Amino acid sequence: MCNRMLDLTKKRIVVTGGAGFLGSFVVDHLRAKGCENVFVPRSSQYDLTQAGGVNAMFDAFRPDVIFHLAAVVGGIGANRENPGSFFYKNAIMGLHLIEAARVRGVEKTVVAGSICSYPKFTPVPFREDDLWNGYPEETNAPYGIAKKSLLVMCQSYRQQYGMNAVFLMPVNLYGPRDNFDLQSSHVIPALVRKALEARNSGAKELVCWGDGSPTREFLYVEDAARGFIAGAESYDGADPVNLGSGFEISIKDLVELVVELCGYEGTIRWDVTQPNGQPRRMLETSRAEKLFGFKAGTALREGLAKTIAWYEGQPRGAASGL
């Protein structure tokens, strides 16, 4: 495989999900690099679950490069309540978009995968070669399998049509601009909001799901944005690539760190009637460093402090779904 450096500053670039969490930082970093033709399709104008919406988007923006970051996502509760819609919407958006990119001869397509695609009992750290060695953890399997199907599509289109589509799998992301709605958010924004609300209300206890034993790896969102751009510029391979921080922490230790940084001094109570999710998650990240020089640069404590400061600086309800 011979990678070539792609000069993104000279390309017309579409970022699906570019108004969302990860996508907004990818857009910011692209523009900071000097990319002048970066387009963000909005769901109110272009329904990417419909072929007509995808084709209208291509007609409007005529992209040379696509970052497909749009997704329907959520934490354990949201995945458990919406398995069918999470599977369908994530799969159908990718199917329509990758096919349209092939038909229209898009130069480079970068597709965001998910570590939810890994088997439930994958050896830790997760290596890309273990992706097909079992069924995903049940609470997020529909989402994970939908994403994994897009990897197969990218690889088969490369094989049959010579399409340059790459598949990057970020670990759990966190940071400013995240979704802090308690009904649909992931673990860090949910913990931050609950800890701050408990602190501000003087609550005596903070209730957390599970028993605190699972471990997770987290990647600061701006590091992830850099990783996606580096992959677009310098990686042209068929193999999926992990994007992570290489740091694993138990949910118990994470809760204690968030509580400390938020200044909450009450008791933490674990609700063991609620699910833990996958037992462990940590990625093997050497492939990204070897193939396109990506290595995360933000320590968890630093990233959490930035996330908390951002959330506290938002008008009430603006970042929380209220």
DSSP code for 129: G
Active site residues: 143
Is the predicted pLDDT of residue 121 greater than 50, yes or no?
A: yes
Q: Which CATH architecture has domain 8-173+221-245+282-297?
A: 3-Layer(aba) Sandwich (3.40)
Q: For residues 74 and 59, which has the higher predicted lDDT (pLDDT)?
A: 59
Write out pLDDT tens, residues 292-315: 999 999 999 999 999 999 999 998
Q: Where are the domains of the chain?
A: 8-173+221-245+282-297
Q: Lay out the sheet containing 172-174: strands in order across.
A: 172-174, 215-220, 248-250
- The residues facing 126 across adjacent strands are 283
Is the predicted pLDDT of residue 1 greater than 50, yes or no?
A: no
- Helix, strand, coil percent values for the chain (each to nearest 5): 45, 15, 40
pLDDT for 322 equals: 36
Write out pLDDT tens, residues 214-227: 999 999 999 999 99
Q: How high is the mean pLDDT of the chain?
A: 94
Q: Of 149, 177, 172, 202, which Cα lies nearest the Cα of 306?
A: 177
